[in-house]
Chains A and B, each alone.
Chain A
């Protein structure tokens, strides 16, 4: 009986162990499956997050590369780099030299090129730090009012491939960036390329010389005058003393009206402007006849006795009663006109005023962007400043 009881206890114990192990194994297997699934899910979520992190960085890389490229391009007046034939003054390019203008019509294309180049730098840096495959990109820019839409199009999707895991996501990036880049260029273009504001100012100043303090310094009537006695300069000096200074003041006044603010974009003219002026005058009349008033050529004639040997004009003042000879004295001369010139009627003197102006123009917006400056060698908040020279007028008195 004892043996039976002992065997029974052993059997029950063995069954219990087997049951426990079985249950344990069953639950463990089930839990391992759950755990595996959970870890896989967590792993997938982690990898998806990795792609999401990268996407945010790509967006920001596009924004920062745009900021930098617009700063670089605007600093170079729309150029990607100055060419040997770029007309510069003090290292700053001319946009206009009299009738010829040099405007980088393709400044948006240059912005795109630089943007893509800098964006590529960012992509290369990011590629070294992630196992997500980043495609190659192309850019397109679409300027709108006060903003530029930047579209980066990848030639493939963003891909992450690992054991039992493949993630792919749309690689295209769109950023709408608030900027006055386009407006700055267009304002400058409108003022100095589409229209030559400086020449217009000079032309207008020339016209305004017709009424300077109530005096007409463009046309000065001097009445009937012998044609040989006309002196335009003397006439101007008499009627309009300091005419050139007056003209220069008018030009300066016109230039002072150039600065403007358009929707937060400011156009300013540097104080170091250079103005050269000159004038030319001409007096003429449509009618005129020879007049005795206007002797062109003549000679002196002796009214008494001309001594051909001495060239003297002598006169017998009295006769010496003793000798019967003359006491000679000086005779009188008179001028005899031999050729007459025209006496012009209603003569008027006409004056033209010319000026050349060299201006340093600065067009900027107060918005600041975090950008790198190669001269200062630092990244800081800086605004967009478009700076260029304009040399214009109605005569080329200043050389470039």
Chain B
């Protein structure tokens, strides 16, 4: 009888301990992990936006990167090269990125890598009555 009571007490103690462990540690960490993933995604998304903003505001040889991209898209002969962007993008985004318009890929690194973050924006082109702006997309792995 005593042993039964002792066993019950022991069992209750075990449940209580388990409750504390499960209740205190597991649920918050579970929720936290999910939230963290979403927040990290949002933060990274914003980070990619900032990368793009910084990129567009930067200059190369006294020419705005924005202009180089726009003119690479619009100018018929001798469009400026965008190769110089590779070094900057690699520093900012690693070895997996792609800059493209709706019709062509401007630059790309890591053809088979998975692009997790995409930023779409509108870029203003040099004047052409048929096309003043172009959809511009940056994908980063």
B43 CB within 8 Å of chain A = yes
Binds B, one of A8-16, A100-108, A209-217, A336-344: A8-16
B4-40 near A? 1/0 per residue, CB < 8 Å: 1100110110011011001110011001100100110
B127 and A65 contact, CB distance less than 8 A? yes
A6 vs B28: C-alpha distance in the bound complex, in angstroms?
A: 31
Binds B, one of A41-49, A73-81, A280-288, A321-329: A41-49
Which residues from B are CB-within-8-Å of A12? Answer: 12, 15-16
A379 CB within 8 Å of chain B = yes
A228 vs B17: C-alpha distance in the bound complex, in angstroms?
A: 145
Which residues from B are CB-within-8-Å of A13? Answer: 15
B109 CB within 8 Å of chain A = no
A82 CB within 8 Å of chain B = no
B44-84 near A? 1/0 per residue, CB < 8 Å: 01100110110011000000101100110011111000000
CB distance from A42 to the nearest CB of B (A): 4
Which residues from A are CB-within-8-Å of B39? Answer: 35, 38-39, 42
B87 CB within 8 Å of chain A = no
Which residues from B are CB-within-8-Å of A379? Answer: 74-76, 125-128
CB distance from B7 to the nearest CB of A (A): 8
Which residues from B are CB-within-8-Å of A31? Answer: 28, 31-32, 35
Which residues from A are CB-within-8-Å of B66? Answer: 56, 60
Which residues from B are CB-within-8-Å of A399? Answer: none
B27 and A129 contact, CB distance less than 8 A? no
Closest residue to B40 on the A side, CB-wise?
A: A38
Which residues from A are CB-within-8-Å of B78? Answer: 380-381
B42 and A53 contact, CB distance less than 8 A? no
Partner of B46, one of A9, A49, A56: A49
How many positions in chain A have a CB within 8 Å of any CB in the partner chain?
51
A67 CB within 8 Å of chain B = yes
Which residues from B are CB-within-8-Å of A5? Answer: 4-5, 8
A16 vs B15: C-alpha distance in the bound complex, in angstroms?
A: 7
B113 CB within 8 Å of chain A = no
CB distance from A376 to the nearest CB of B (A): 9
Interface of A is mostly: helix
A28-67 near B? 1/0 per residue, CB < 8 Å: 1001001100110010011001001100110011011101
B124 and A61 contact, CB distance less than 8 A? yes
Given known contacts A9-B11, A35-B35, A52 and B53 CB-to-CB distance under 8 angstroms? yes
A179 CB within 8 Å of chain B = no
Given known contacts A12-B15, A35-B38, A45 and B126 CB-to-CB distance under 8 angstroms? no
CB distance from B94 to the nearest CB of A (A): 21
Which residues from B are CB-within-8-Å of A65? Answer: 127
Which residues from B are CB-within-8-Å of A122? Answer: 124, 132-133
A23 and B38 contact, CB distance less than 8 A? no
Closest residue to A42 on the B side, CB-wise?
A: B42
Q: Which residues in window 74-126 of A have CB below 8 A to B?
A: 118, 121-122, 125-126
A372 CB within 8 Å of chain B = yes
Q: Count chain B CB atoms within 10 A of each CB in A56, A129, A378 and give the residue with the most.
A: A56
B22 and A20 contact, CB distance less than 8 A? yes
B23 and A126 contact, CB distance less than 8 A? no
Closest residue to A24 on the B side, CB-wise?
A: B27
A64 and B5 contact, CB distance less than 8 A? no
Partner of B23, one of A20, A61, A68, A371: A20
A130 CB within 8 Å of chain B = yes
A60 vs B22: C-alpha distance in the bound complex, in angstroms?
A: 57
B109-130 near A? 1/0 per residue, CB < 8 Å: 0000000000001111111110
CB distance from A338 to the nearest CB of B (A): 88
A8 and B53 contact, CB distance less than 8 A? no
A63 vs B126: C-alpha distance in the bound complex, in angstroms?
A: 9
Partner of A372, one of B23, B71, B129, B133: B129
A19 CB within 8 Å of chain B = yes
A372 and B38 contact, CB distance less than 8 A? no
Closest residue to B32 on the A side, CB-wise?
A: A31
A2 CB within 8 Å of chain B = yes
A167 CB within 8 Å of chain B = no
Partner of A378, one of B27, B49, B76, B121: B76
Which residues from B are CB-within-8-Å of A63? Answer: 67
A27 CB within 8 Å of chain B = yes
Enumerate the 8 nearest inter-chain pairs by beta-carbon distance, A residue then B residue, closest first: A16-B19, A5-B8, A42-B42, A370-B126, A20-B23, A68-B127, A24-B27, A27-B28
5 further A-B pairs in the complex, CB-CB below 8 A; given A61-B132, A64-B125, A126-B122: A23-B23, A57-B124, A64-B70, A64-B124, A372-B127
Selected A-B contacts with CB under 8 Å, 29 pairs:
A1-B1, A1-B4, A5-B5, A12-B15, A16-B23, A20-B19, A23-B23, A23-B28, A24-B28, A31-B28, A31-B35, A34-B35, A38-B35, A39-B42, A42-B46, A45-B46, A46-B45, A49-B49, A53-B52, A53-B53, A63-B67, A64-B70, A65-B127, A68-B126, A121-B132, A370-B126, A379-B76, A380-B76, A381-B78
